[in-house]
Amino acid sequence: MKLDHSYILPSLMALMVHIVVAFIVMTEWQSQSKRTPPVQIKQRVEATLIDLDSLLAQQKQVVSAADKKAADKKVADKKAADKKVADKKKADKKKADKKKADKKKADKKKADKKKADKKKADKKKADKKKADKKKADKKKAHKKAADKKAADKKAADKKVADKKVADKKKVNKKVLDKKAADKKAADKKAADKKAADKKAADKKVADRKVADKKAAEQKVAQQLAEVEQALDNLLDDEDAQMQALEQEATNSQAVASAVNYIRNEIIQRWVRPANARTGMVVELVIHLVPTGEVVDIEIRYRDDSATDAFVASAVKAVRKVGRFDKLSQLKAGLFDANFREFNFLFKPEDLRL
């Protein structure tokens, strides 16, 4: 059991009071015994009767008052301590509430920042998706235009070939008509000659008729041979022209495909500089070997708006490619005519500024 120090002082005071009262009582009792004479002498004695119960009651009241005072002090101290604990608890709660509010505020701020960052990222992603779609649509439009151009050229070539076939048929018909007319004229001439010769002499007419007939047959045979030779020559020329047109169309498609391939390879490796703007143009001369490897790059032209960074980015994109592998599949003559020194006009059209 823990000793309460607030009761020590009142207890000591009560003990001292008891000792003093006991000392007074004993002193009075002894003094009474000494003053009694051996011979009784009548005299008047004034004595004070001490009520021990009253004294004890007073002492008890004093002790009770001290105890009450000590108890009151203890209650007051406990109340003060409780108040101090309550104040501390209230302060701690206030501090905890403030800390909780600060944390909630910080969490809200952090959540708002995260939300703003996400919104910014979503916007950036949407912008990129939009740019990619625009680029894909443009590429699709270019391909569609190229396909249309190729189809138009093919249709034009077919039209030319059909016209040549029609012209050939027309020539053949004309030759056949001429042959028929010549034959008719020759037959008429032979008949007239035969009638005239018959009037002169039957034998001479007969001999002349045989000779004329033979000559006519030889002439007709020679004419037929000439017509056939002309037709063969015309067919040979037409076949050669058709083959040349087909080869030209094939070469044009191969060149167009190779040009698109080179352009796509360079654009895929181009990194746009910060100061790139719409309208900037730079023309590069790319020196290549039949394997498709880049051996040199020259800057042939750059407009006034093209910055050094823009020009350098175009050259760097070509150097990043390094080698156009698909060019090795081209025929040597086609490569030498179109790609030994390839002029590349770099003019990005998808810049937003």
**pLDDT > 80? residue 211:** no
Q: Classify residue 42: in a domain, yes or no.
A: no
For the chain, the average pLDDT equals 81
Its domain, for residue 24, covers: 5-35+47-112
pLDDT of residue 48: 59
Q: Classify residue 128: in a domain, yes or no.
A: no
Kindly report, residue by residue over 164-183, the tens digit of the pLDDT.
877 888 877 887 888 888 88
Place of tokens 């004479």: 37
Quick check: pTM over 0.85? no
265, with CB counted inside 10 A (0-12, 13-18, 19+), is buried
At 76, the pLDDT band (50, 70, 90 cuts) reads: confident
Kindly report, residue by residue over 126-168, the tens digit of the pLDDT.
888 888 888 888 888 788 887 888 788 888 788 877 888 778 8
Cα–chain-centroid distance for residue 136?
14
Contacts 24+ apart (CB under 8 A), 163-169: 164/238, 164/241, 164/242, 165/238, 168/234, 168/235, 168/238
CB atoms within 10 A of CB 217: 11
Q: Could you tell me the CATH number of the domain that includes residue 335?
A: 3.30.1150.10
344, two tokens: 């590349």
Q: Classify residue 85: in a domain, yes or no.
A: yes
Q: Classify residue 88: in a domain, yes or no.
A: yes
Q: Classify residue 54: in a domain, yes or no.
A: yes
331, two tokens: 């025929």
pLDDT of residue 297: 95
CB atoms within 10 A of CB 66: 18
Of the candidates 112, 132, 148, which is a domain's last residue? 112
Q: Classify residue 337: in a domain, yes or no.
A: yes
Q: Cβ distance 253 to 150 under 8 Å? A: yes
